[in-house]
């Protein structure tokens, strides 16, 4: 009687261990990067996964330690014998960029008029709202009304005046898809004009931090996240934009549940650069002026490890200062939240309470290399925030030359 019972326990234990092993391999496969960059002659090593190395039997223990630039396949394994994931190893010279940390002003004009609110109209027969009746929603981007391209607020007004109470076809964008409807404006006697019952915005402005400039290509990168509309939260669809000089004139400290904010002032109207990309990983464009900073090597993503680091950020004036932080966690799986940071510098904590709005884009450095940029604050813990890999930002910056704005 004891032997069958013992066998059952052995079988259950084996099933449990097999399930746990499969789960571990699945987690590891998901956690490991799909792509690894290396310098010529640099061994393929993953400091955050010290028990992972190239598969021995392929003869690829240092498959990417070749001195020939190019792209290679490498199978990563546990202990050199259990295959886990095949990745692409790119052998390239280590990039060097001008690390900044300076504040910059942002002026952006959207592609179309963004609906940021609605207001019912009183026609004497009760409240009406033509925009809502046409099926338009908050966050929709109106790009044409009748024959008029609605790239500005004034163009929307002109289109409504031209319709003069007649039904007008409306082309708008919702969730990235172009759609059509018909809107009939009504006469607002109090304002003495034709109206649609919607508030629209054609531009955005704000303050951020410049992460780096690629001197080889004349491209800048900043923020680490897209510029979004303050009312709708929608990423602004870029028609054109520019960056200008800026100084920090004040700061509201962050507290748990209430993010702080740097207050900036634009210095003149001369454009320092043209914005070409407003992407999920930041704003990028063509530099039109020289930027102050220090030329430093860039860390490849797999080289970023938990531990002490520093950020360059500006809390007053135009000149950045260096503050101590600690990288608590590194994650390859989420391209927008590669790191969790904690501010450990008493001076920065006293000034700002930690990470505040306007610090987005502040360079993160570790072991003398640029590893990333600050992107967001944790609302319930302003001493902590997220960061993005510098390698990701540089890869996005390489696309600037392909944009119409850069070509123009």
pLDDT score for 369:
97
Q: DSSP 3-state assignment of 127?
A: strand
Distances 288 to 62, 117, 220, 265, 401 between C-alpha atoms, Å: 42, 36, 10, 20, 14
pLDDT score for 24:
65
Set 225, 274, 332, 376: catalytic member = 225
Set 31, 188, 235, 345: catalytic member = 345
pLDDT score for 121:
87
Question: Could you tell me the pTM of the whole model?
Answer: 0.84
Domain-wise residue ranges, the chain: 28-93, 96-107+204-407, 120-196
Around Cβ 28, how many Cβ atoms within 10 Å? 16
Residue 360 catalytic? yes
96-107+204-407 and 120-196 in the same fold: no
Closest Cα partner for 404 from 219, 276, 231, 269? 276
In DSSP terms, which residues pair with 79 in a beta bridge? none
Q: Are 305 and 384 in contact (CB under 8 A)?
A: no
CATH superfamily for 120-196 is PDZ domain (2.30.42.10)
pLDDT score for 64:
43
Closest Cα partner for 197 from 140, 115, 302? 115
In DSSP terms, which residues pair with 307 in a beta bridge? 327
pLDDT score for 220:
96
pLDDT score for 77:
84
Distance (Å, rounded) from C-alpha 323 to C-alpha 144? 48
The CATH code of domain 96-107+204-407 reads 2.40.10.120
pLDDT along the chain (408 residues), means of 10: 62 62 66 87 86 69 59 84 87 94 91 90 83 93 92 91 92 92 89 89 89 93 86 78 92 87 88 91 91 94 96 95 96 88 96 93 97 93 95 92 66
Distance (Å, rounded) from C-alpha 40 to C-alpha 90? 9
Half-sphere exposure of 86 (CA within 13 A, CB side): 4
pLDDT score for 146:
92
Residue 161 catalytic? no
Characterise 287 by phi-psi region: left (phi > 0), alpha (psi -120 to 50), beta (else).
beta
Six-digit token string for 243: 């960056």
Set 60, 110, 360, 362: catalytic member = 360
What counts of helices (H) and strands (E) characterise the chain?
Answer: 6, 26
pLDDT score for 11:
65
């Amino acid at each position: 009687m004891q032997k069958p019972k013992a066998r059952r326990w052995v079988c259950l234990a084996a099933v449990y261990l097999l399930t746990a092993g499969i789960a571990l391999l699945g987690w590891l496969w998901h956690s490991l990067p799909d792509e690894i960059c290396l310098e010529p002659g640099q061994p393929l090593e993953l400091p955050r996964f010290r028990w992972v190395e190239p598969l021995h039997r392929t003869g690829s223990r240092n498959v990417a330690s070749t001195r020939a630039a190019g792209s290679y396949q490498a199978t990563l394994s546990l202990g050199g014998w259990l295959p886990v994931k095949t990745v692409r190893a790119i052998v390239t010279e280590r990039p060097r960029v001008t690390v900044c940390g300076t504040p910059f002003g942002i002026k952006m004009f959207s592609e179309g008029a963004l609906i940021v609110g609605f207001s019912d109209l009183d026609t004497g027969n009760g409240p009406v709202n033509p925009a809502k009746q046409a099926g338009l929603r908050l966050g929709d981007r109106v790009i044409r009304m009748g024959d008029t391209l609605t790239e500005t607020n004034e163009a929307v007004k002109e289109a409504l005046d031209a319709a003069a109470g007649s039904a007008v076809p409306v082309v708008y964008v919702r969730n990235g898809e172009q759609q059509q409807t018909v809107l009939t404006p009504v006469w607002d006697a109090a304002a003495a004009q034709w109206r649609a019952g919607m508030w629209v915005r054609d531009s955005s402005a704000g303050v951020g931090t410049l992460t780096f400039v690629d001197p080889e290509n004349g491209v800048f990168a900043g923020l680490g996240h897209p510029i979004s509309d303050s009312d709708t939260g929608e990423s602004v669809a870029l028609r054109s934009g520019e960056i200008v000089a800026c100084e920090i004139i004040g700061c509201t400290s962050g507290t748990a549940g209430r993010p702080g904010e740097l207050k900036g002032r634009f210095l003149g109207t001369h454009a320092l650069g043209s914005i070409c990309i407003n992407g999920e990983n930041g704003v990028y464009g063509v530099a039109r002026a020289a930027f102050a900073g220090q030329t430093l090597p860039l860390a490849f993503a797999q080289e970023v490890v938990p531990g002490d680091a520093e950020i360059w950020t500006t809390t007053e004036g135009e000149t950045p200062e260096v503050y101590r932080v600690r990288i608590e966690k590194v994650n390859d799986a989420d391209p927008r939240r590669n790191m969790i940071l904690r501010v450990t510098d008493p001076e920065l904590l006293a000034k700002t309470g930690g990470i505040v709005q306007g610090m987005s884009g502040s360079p993160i450095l570790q072991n003398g290399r640029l590893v990333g940029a600050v992107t967001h604050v944790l609302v319930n813990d302003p001493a902590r925030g997220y960061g993005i890999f510098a390698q990701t930002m540089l890869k996005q910056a390489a696309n600037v030359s392909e944009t119409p704005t850069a070509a123009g």
